Amino acid sequence: MNWYTEQWSNDCKFSIAYDKKIYSEQSSFQQINFYQGKEFGTFFTLDGLMMVNEKDEFIYHDMIVHPAFATNPNIKKVLIIGGGDGGTAREVLRYPNVEEVVMAEIDERVFRLCQQYLPVTARGVEEDSRMKLRFEDGLEYVRNAPDQSFDLILVDSTDPVSVGEGLFTKPFYKECYRVLNADGILINQHESPYFAEYAANMKKAHTKIKDIFPITHVYQYHMPTYPSGHWLFGFASKRLDPLKNLNVKAWEQFGLKTKYYNTNLHIGAFGLPNYVKEALNR
């Protein structure tokens, strides 16, 4: 048996058996590996960290996309930063109201390889006429975008190292604020509260975003293949509150079948454990 192993902390690791390594490439930005196994189907890693697998990608992609649309069902213009596997775009494109989706992914190779090896997330994305693919640095993209040009920004990034680093900085969040319109929402990959290294990144991101956006929340979900299985997204906005403005009726009228998300879970996801709230506010 071959094992893909990821260190979750110095003293803790998670291993997945795979039948074969399908593909491996050092792109201009990172090491990309694709594996295939029984429990998780096809999965790929960037610089040795699990990104997406066929078994639980639905959890991450439901949770990065649907809470924003249930808070503002009128979202029309969406900017995805990162998200090279295509899963986030796939979920956004299910909303008929959406008119334009820009995906600024720094590494085109991730997207092209997912089109080839991970159709569950990438298939159909490029073909949708509302999609605008920009293979460039997300930070650069927002710097050059006009004021108030998006309703929603989804930061679907790696951890704050390598290509993901700039997406956890105050200048980046400031640019996001500027390009969002008055009802704008920023959702960002917010790391995890449990292992010290990830918790430190969680706190840093939250502190920076709180300085810029008037409304900031953090919400949680069960993502078994990410370290500790307890993973977070940030919800920041200029005006809309994910609980007070939750529009259950409007969201249900979209008639979307989801495997993880529902509007009760939406409310529950914001009910953080005390130790997480304390860490965020410290």
Q: Number of residues in contact with a second copy, rule: CB under 8 A?
A: 43
For residue 156, indicate whether it is catalytic: yes
Taking CB under 8 A as the criterion, the residue among 12, 182, 200, 248 binding a second copy is 12
Q: Coil, strand or helix: which one is 227? A: coil
Q: Which stretch binds a second copy (CB under 8 A): 28-36, 51-59, 84-92, 161-169?
A: 51-59
Alpha-carbon span 219 to 164, nearest angstrom: 20
Alpha-carbon span 227 to 54, nearest angstrom: 17
Beta carbon nearer to a second copy, 77 or 217 = 217
**Residue 16 found at the interface with a second copy (CB under 8 A):** yes
Minimum CB separation of residue 37 from a second copy in Å reads: 6
Alpha-carbon span 207 to 8, nearest angstrom: 24
| Interactions with a second copy, residue window 225-254 (CB under 8 A) | 228-230
Q: Strands (DSSP E) along the chain, which ranges?
A: 2-9, 12-18, 20-26, 31-36, 42-46, 49-53, 77-82, 100-104, 131-134, 150-156, 180-189, 215-222, 230-237
Catalytic, out of 156, 183, 211, 241: 156
Length of the chain: 282
Give the Cα-Cα-Cα angle 94, 221, 13 (nearest 5 degrees).
Answer: 120
Helix (H) or strand (E) holding 119: helix 119-122
Beta carbon nearer to a second copy, 182 or 248 = 248
Minimum CB separation of residue 142 from a second copy in Å reads: 32
Beta carbon nearer to a second copy, 173 or 195 = 195
Taking CB under 8 A as the criterion, the residue among 115, 148, 169, 262 binding a second copy is 262
**Residue 261 found at the interface with a second copy (CB under 8 A):** yes
Q: Cβ distance 51 to 231 under 8 Å?
A: no
Annotated binding-site ranges for spermidine: 61, 85, 156-159
Binding site residues, a second copy, CB under 8 A: 3, 9-17, 37-40, 56, 58-59, 194-195, 220, 222, 224, 228-230, 258-262, 264-275, 277
